[in-house]
C-alpha cells in the first residue's frame, strides 16, 4: 500500500453541478478536495485570519459572479498565499491562456478537458510547488550563481544584480533551466514541457506551443528589464528556442 499523502486541492467554481462532478472525479483520482462556490468563501479560508486552510494546489474558475478567478488570484497573492493556481475556464482562446499565466497561474485548463487530464496537470503543478522554508539557511547545493543571476533552488527565488525578480514558479523554472545550461540551446519544447508536462500540445498546429513559450519569455525579459534596462542574457535561437548568454560574453 502506498504511503504517499494524497494531493489536497481547493476547487473554486460557482456552477454547483460542474463543481460537484469535478470534485467527485478528482476524488476518484485519489485527490483530497475542498470545494467552494465562489471567491469570497475561498479567500476567507485561504487568505483570511487564522486558522487558515492549506492545500497543495488551487483550481479557480475564470468566470464567477462578484469576483472572477483572476481577481481571486490577485487577492490570494496579496494575502501571502503562494500555492500554485490552475485556472479552469471554457474560454479556450490562446489569449485567455496567456492572460491566465500572466496573472501568475501555473497552468490553464479548458473545462472541456477530461478529469483525467485535469488530474495529470494538477499533479504536475503540485510536484513543482515545493515548500518555502520558514528559516532559510543558505546551503551550497540549494543555490546557484550565474554571473549577475542568483538562484535559490529551494525557495524558488531569483535575484539579478542583488535585486529580487518577481517570477512565477513557471517563470523561475524556465530561467533556471536556461541559466544552468548557459551557452547551450534550450528548445521551445523543453521550455513548454515545464508548463504542461511532457507531450502536451497547445495552440494552432503541431508547433503552436512555440507562441506560448514566446509569451513567457517576453514577460520574463520585461521583469528583468525593469531592474536592468540593458538586460540581454536571454538570446533567441530562431526556429529552435533560447539560450542564456554565459557570463563575460558579449
**Residue 1 falls inside a structural domain:** no
**Residue 249 falls inside a structural domain:** no
Residues 93 and 174 in one domain: no
Specify the range with the lowest mean pLDDT, choosing from 9-13, 137-141, 241-245.
137-141
| Confidence at 127, pLDDT banded by 50, 70, 90 | confident
pTM equals 0.56
pLDDT digits (tens, 9 = 90+) for 38-51: 989 999 888 775 56
Residues 74 and 14 in one domain: yes
Q: Domain containing 123 — which CATH number?
A: 3.40.50.2300
Coil vs helix vs strand at 168: coil
DSSP secondary structure of 157-177: EEEETTEEE---HHHHHHHHH
Residues 78 and 39 in one domain: yes
pLDDT of 207 higher than 70? no
**Residue 197 falls inside a structural domain:** yes
Residues 174 and 240 in one domain: yes
Last residue of a domain, one of 129, 160, 175: 129
Domain holding 78, by residue range, is 8-129
pLDDT of 67 higher than 70? yes
Residue 10 has a CB neighbour count (10 Å cut-off) of 24
Residues 110 and 149 in one domain: no
Residues 161 and 63 in one domain: no
Residues 115 and 147 in one domain: no
**Residue 192 falls inside a structural domain:** yes
| Confidence at 204, pLDDT banded by 50, 70, 90 | very low
Predicted pLDDT of residue 92:
59
Return all residues near 136 (Cβ < 8 A) that are at least 6 apart: 152, 154, 155
pLDDT digits (tens, 9 = 90+) for 10-58: 999 999 999 999 999 999 999 999 999 998 999 988 877 556 678 899 9
Judge whether 11 and 68 are in contact, CB under 8 Å.
no
pLDDT of 131 higher than 70? no
Amino acid at each position: 500500500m502506498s504511503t504517499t499523502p494524497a494531493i489536497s486541492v481547493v476547487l473554486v467554481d460557482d456552477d454547483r453541478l460542474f463543481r460537484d462532478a469535478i470534485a467527485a472525479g478528482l476524488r476518484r483520482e485519489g485527490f483530497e478536495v475542498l470545494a467552494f462556490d465562489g471567491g469570497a468563501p475561498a479567500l476567507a479560508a485561504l487568505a483570511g485570519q487564522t486558522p487558515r486552510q492549506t492545500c497543495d494546489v488551487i483550481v479557480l474558475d475564470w468566470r464567477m459572479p462578484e469576483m472572477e478567478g483572476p481577481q481571486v488570484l490577485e487577492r490570494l497573492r496579496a494575502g501571502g498565499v503562494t500555492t500554485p493556481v490552475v485556472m479552469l475556464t471554457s474560454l479556450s482562446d490562446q489569449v485567455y491562456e496567456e492572460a491566465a499565466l500572466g496573472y501568475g497561474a501555473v497552468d490553464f485548463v479548458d473545462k472541456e478537458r477530461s478529469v483525467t487530464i485535469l488530474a495529470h496537470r494538477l499533479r504536475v503543478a503540485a510536484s513543482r510547488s515545493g515548500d518555502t522554508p520558514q528559516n532559510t539557511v543558505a546551503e551550497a547545493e540549494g543555490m546557484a550563481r550565474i554571473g549577475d543571476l542568483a538562484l535559490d533552488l529551494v525557495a524558488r527565488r531569483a535575484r539579478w544584480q542583488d535585486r529580487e525578480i518577481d517570477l512565477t514558479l513557471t517563470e523561475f523554472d524556465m530561467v533556471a533551466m536556461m541559466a544552468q545550461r548557459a551557452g547551450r540551446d534550450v528548445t521551445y519544447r523543453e521550455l513548454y514541457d515545464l508548463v504542461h508536462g511532457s507531450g502536451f500540445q497547445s495552440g494552432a498546429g503541431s508547433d503552436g506551443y512555440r507562441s506560448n513559450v514566446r509569451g513567457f519569455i517576453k514577460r520574463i525579459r520585461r521583469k528583468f528589464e525593469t531592474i536592468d534596462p540593458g538586460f540581454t542574457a536571454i538570446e533567441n535561437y530562431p526556429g529552435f528556442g533560447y539560450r542564456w548568454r554565459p557570463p563575460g560574453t558579449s
